[in-house]
Amino acid sequence: MRADEAYEELIQRVREEATLASIEALLEWDEETHMPAGAVEGRSEQLAMVAGLLHERGTDPRIGELLDELEGSSLLEDPDSPAAVNVRELRRDYDRYVRLPRKLVQDLARTTAVAQRAWSEARKEADFIRFRPYLERIVELKRAEARCVGYDREPYDALIGDYEPGITSAIVGRLFEALRRELVPLAARIAGAGSGPAVEMLRRAVPLDAQRGFGEKVAGEVGFDFRRGRTDLGVHPCCTSLGPGDCRIGLRFDRRDFVGGILTILHEVGHGLYEQGLDPEFYGTPMGEAASVGMDESQARLWENRVGRSRGFWAHFLPKAGERFPDAFGDADLDEFHFALNRVTPSLIRVHADEVTYNVHVMIRFELERALISGDLLAAELPGAWNDAYGRYLGVTPENDAEGCLQDGHWAEGLVGYFPTYTLGDVFAAQLFARAQRELGDLEESFARGEFRELVRWLGERIYRQGGRHPSARLIEVVTGGPPDHRPLVEALRVR
Amino acid sequence: MRADEAYEELIQRVREEATLASIEALLEWDEETHMPAGAVEGRSEQLAMVAGLLHERGTDPRIGELLDELEGSSLLEDPDSPAAVNVRELRRDYDRYVRLPRKLVQDLARTTAVAQRAWSEARKEADFIRFRPYLERIVELKRAEARCVGYDREPYDALIGDYEPGITSAIVGRLFEALRRELVPLAARIAGAGSGPAVEMLRRAVPLDAQRGFGEKVAGEVGFDFRRGRTDLGVHPCCTSLGPGDCRIGLRFDRRDFVGGILTILHEVGHGLYEQGLDPEFYGTPMGEAASVGMDESQARLWENRVGRSRGFWAHFLPKAGERFPDAFGDADLDEFHFALNRVTPSLIRVHADEVTYNVHVMIRFELERALISGDLLAAELPGAWNDAYGRYLGVTPENDAEGCLQDGHWAEGLVGYFPTYTLGDVFAAQLFARAQRELGDLEESFARGEFRELVRWLGERIYRQGGRHPSARLIEVVTGGPPDHRPLVEALRVR
């Protein structure tokens, strides 16, 4: 068989898998946004079926044969060529996938579908006991997954490696250690400053529908393409690709947190711009996908924090908010507003955290999920361990589990080892934004004019259209000239 | 192999097919309600993939072997037992399915996904030319389908038989002939009577959101279970089952047609009550499905017309509408209102037609689609033939194709041979309602007290929980004591 024929067959197969995966994404998105409560059992069967079909195709020995055929062929001479990149990444996916038994994959799909509903109800009632059996089962399945995949030092490495290839607990641990040394004293020094009228202003009531309307306008202005996407209300914010030309954003609003809603939209739009900016020619192959989950999160965190918390952004949007919501923001002063939205104060809820303490929230989750997977912590002990960690690192204690260990839905979704990608994303985002500033000049000034296209274009060329060409660390090096480095993040926080 | 083992394997297989079909239903429902325009190509690939998977499973020779094994076994001795019913119906499905090549099934899925979007745009622009190539392609594919399935007298029979087994063009033609003889003179005699203030009242503006809220209240009061279902706005009204516990209703409202919106909800809720009332024990098998499409439509038409146009129904809901919308209905007189909503007047749009002329609209579609499939009519000639027929039978002429041959989306969905099931449904509904009245006493009086449970319970026992036990004509006989008969429908219309 000729290499080009083998490559063509391989690509056709993975494209079909991508179509199947996009169907799975619709099932999940619908569960988040529209599905009635009574449908949860049926949905878990649907998801288990698609997981089984994906496994059947993704582990087909024919894929292994095609990869064998291609590896070492002259087609892959240039390691940065699309063919070489796709074969490199598909080999990694395949080698991982064939280690997972179909039953495990289907059990995970079935369990997480039901667990998400249970989590959502447990959270509403602030009742961890309701969620505990599901968490126990998920931890058990994820430990089994880690055993099947294999690891050098600890099982958690096998899970985190699925989201960020090449990353280990040890690397993440060192990153958090370095950040903690910088951020905890920084937080202590500036915490609580700037309370007062402007902070109260951020809590003024804005009707939910109007928030959504305003948020969609913001999304459109920064470049989200609504012809190829939409927004919906969901249990928790998310951004899902349902196939080419179909990027769905799930949103959540709070009457008394207008700014939080806008930052959430920017976060999800950051994912969405990446998704919509991928090269459609490579759809369904690694060259047409995000470089890694961490890189994907970097785009979300870049728009949320580097753009959404900037003075320039609000120089443009605050007057519009004042016009649209005169009672809440008619009298808003830009400097006070900007100061208030960057106020640092230790808090209980990750998604509402300021930028400085945010990564402490992530670190706590990293430590706890690592312990759950190693077996050092039992699911039953989670609420206590959670509250201890919040007391120790942030000096705050949840009053109940809804504002404690039930606040995030990741574990219910089976996302264990995912949290560290937020911090990696923050680190990457700060590096990329600093580089963009250097190349494009004063971005805040553009934002103040309502001009976001230059930044989107820059990210499009440097990041989006590169797809999976480079592993994330290498991509950072190609774009910024240096390896991943937490210092630009610390620097950005210090300046602000 | 023992018969009970064969049966178990057969049922497991068809249950998996049902899960796959419910995924297909989600893809279609999402296309109707939420999908962004840019996603249409991707969606057509997703639908083609699922159609292919369904075909692969549904035509698996193993199913034929299992059916062979079971037929003649003692397990099926009682022809009304669940096993006998399931084998009888699965044999029919299988024999039909294996005649269809996979490519044809996938082409149909792909084409109709794109055609629906094209139809919706063509309708918006009242521009048949935009839809014509899609219609041509669909007619071509449906003719191919008819050839593959086979037929005795004409190809259309092969299509109509998919929705209503045992029915032929000749039978439908005779039914329409009989109805036309009765209804056209009846319509002529009473048409136009009762114009005046009450008719104007039906055109009073009611905000769309409030209509939807009121409509959902009506749906809940008559018995639709929102824990196992939901409503959404869609391109056109529909009711789709996405699996057990997940019944979705698509709605459309018009500011100046409050009553039309309520009748639409009742129509779709009629489907929904049937769906929600099926025996969950038999989910995924013919015993857990509607007896036929015509029987399914009978439930929709029963709630829309026998209930929704009744004086009793509005005796209960008109005062509520008056309270909720005092400007529109605060001064409404029940008798005038009831008279107005049953006014007969020839019109252009099927879904807005009065009950007497409604089946003339259906008959026109039956004649035209029959001619399209036989080849006597070309797609290009459709607008002219449509307008001629409306002039001839109803004395009205569309001003453009949006109110002419583009008004319904059925053909774009590939539903050719479907329209006659509306009329069969009307006939069945009148028979069933007359029988229910005889057994339960004055139903209108119950409706006036806001009491619908008795009727739902009666239908639940007689129809819903019977599933596919009897073919539709036989089910009518079992429940009403007589064969299908158009006279109760004519009688009901005469009385009203």
The residue behind tokens 């070492």 is A72
Contact B34 A232 (CB under 8 A): yes
Question: Mind listing the pLDDT tens digit for each residue in B49-77?
Answer: 999 999 999 999 999 999 999 999 999 99
What is the pLDDT averaged over residues B122-146?
Answer: 98
B72 dihedral zone (left: phi>0; alpha: psi -120 to 50; beta)? left
Find the angle CA(B314)-CA(B318)-CA(B319) to the nearest 5 degrees.
Answer: 130
* Angstrom distance (rounded) from CA B100 to CA B278: 29
Contact B23 A27 (CB under 8 A): yes
Q: Considering only A293-302, B328-337, B378-387, which range has the smallest mean pLDDT?
A: B328-337
In a domain, A330, yes or no: yes
Q: Is the pLDDT of residue A185 over 90?
A: no
- Same domain (yes/no): A146, A229: no
Q: Where are the beta strands (DSSP E) in A183-274?
A: 229-233, 238-241, 247-251
The reported pLDDT for the residue numbered B200 is 87
pLDDT confidence of B184, banded at 50, 70, 90?
confident
- CB proximity B39 to A under 8 Å: yes
- Same domain (yes/no): A145, A202: no
Q: In 3-state terms, what secondary structure has residue A442? A: coil
Contact B245 A20 (CB under 8 A): no
Q: Is the pLDDT of residue B195 over 60?
A: no
In a domain, A156, yes or no: no
What residue of B is the nearest CA neighbor of A45?
B19
The residue behind tokens 């958090």 is A176
The continuous run of DSSP H or E covering B239 comes out as: strand B238-241
What is the pLDDT averaged over residues B474-480?
Answer: 97
Question: Mind listing the pLDDT tens digit for each residue in A321-350?
Answer: 999 999 999 999 999 999 999 988 899 999
pLDDT confidence of B243, banded at 50, 70, 90?
confident
Distances (CA, A) of A485 to A172, A175, A183, A299, A471: 12, 9, 15, 16, 15
Question: Mind listing the pLDDT tens digit for each residue in B94-107?
Answer: 999 999 999 999 99
The reported pLDDT for the residue numbered A199 is 79
Q: Is the pLDDT of residue A194 over 90?
A: no
For the annotated catalytic residues of B, the residue numbers are 268
The continuous run of DSSP H or E covering B297 comes out as: helix B293-301
- Same domain (yes/no): B52, B183: no
CATH assignment of the domain containing A424? 1.10.1370.30
pLDDT confidence of B29, banded at 50, 70, 90?
very high
Question: Mind listing the pLDDT tens digit for each residue in A233-284?
Answer: 987 899 999 988 999 999 999 999 999 999 999 999 999 999 999 999 999 9
Residues 6+ apart with CB under 8 A from B392: none
The reported pLDDT for the residue numbered B196 is 59
- Same domain (yes/no): A145, A243: no
- Same domain (yes/no): A90, A211: no
Percent of chain B with pLDDT over 70: 99
In a domain, A248, yes or no: yes
Task: Indicate the average pLDDT of chain B.
Answer: 95
- A436, A310 in Cβ contact below 8 A? no
Q: Considering only A172-176, A282-286, B69-73, B491-495, which range has the smallest mean pLDDT?
A: B491-495
What is the pLDDT averaged over residues B427-437?
Answer: 97
- Same domain (yes/no): A173, A75: no
- Same domain (yes/no): A93, A185: no
Percent of chain B with pLDDT over 90: 92
- Same domain (yes/no): B446, B305: yes
**C-alpha neighbours within 13 Å on the C-beta side of residue A53:** 28
The reported pLDDT for the residue numbered A495 is 83
- CB proximity B46 to A under 8 Å: yes
What residue of B is the nearest CA neighbor of A48?
B19
- CB proximity A233 to B under 8 Å: no
- Same domain (yes/no): A286, A184: yes
- Same domain (yes/no): A307, A411: yes
- Same domain (yes/no): A240, A306: yes
Q: Is the pLDDT of residue B496 over 80?
A: no
The reported pLDDT for the residue numbered A193 is 62
Q: Is the pLDDT of residue A208 over 80?
A: yes
Q: Is the pLDDT of residue A192 over 90?
A: no
Residues of A in contact with B245 (CB under 8 A): 36, 38-42
Contact B23 A19 (CB under 8 A): no
Instruction: Pick the last residue of a domain from A118, A150, A182.
Output: A150
Please count the other Cβ atoms lying within 10 Å of the Cβ belonging to residue A332.
21
What is the pLDDT averaged over residues B277-305?
Answer: 97
Q: Is the pLDDT of residue B194 over 60?
A: no
Percent of chain A with pLDDT over 70: 99
Percent of chain A with pLDDT over 90: 92
In a domain, B436, yes or no: yes
Nearest to B130 by CA among B122, B141, B138, B120: B122
- B232, B251 in Cβ contact below 8 A? yes
Shortest CA gap A234–chain B (Å): 14
In a domain, A163, yes or no: no
- Same domain (yes/no): A124, A244: no
The reported pLDDT for the residue numbered A188 is 81
Q: Which amino acid does the sequence have at A38?
A: G
Of the partner residues B36, B53, B226, the one whose CB lies closest to the CB of residue A227: B36
Q: In 3-state terms, what secondary structure has residue A346? A: coil
For the annotated catalytic residues of A, the residue numbers are 268
Nearest to B22 by CA among B293, B228, B247: B247
Structure tokens at B276: 């929600």
What residue of B is the nearest CA neighbor of A24?
B23
Q: What DSSP string runs through B400-466?
A: STTTTTTS--TTTTT--S-THHHHHHHHHHHHHHHHHHHHH--HHHHHHTT--HHHHHHHHHHTGGG
In a domain, B160, yes or no: no
Give the total number of structural domains in chain B: 2
Domain that holds residue A180: 169-495
In a domain, A159, yes or no: no
The reported pLDDT for the residue numbered B193 is 62
Structure tokens at A440: 């494009």
Contact A38 B225 (CB under 8 A): yes
Name all contacts of A165-174 with Cβ < 8 Å and 24+ positions apart: A165/A92, A165/A292, A165/A471, A166/A471, A166/A473, A167/A294, A167/A420, A167/A424, A169/A370, A172/A366, A172/A420, A172/A423, A172/A424
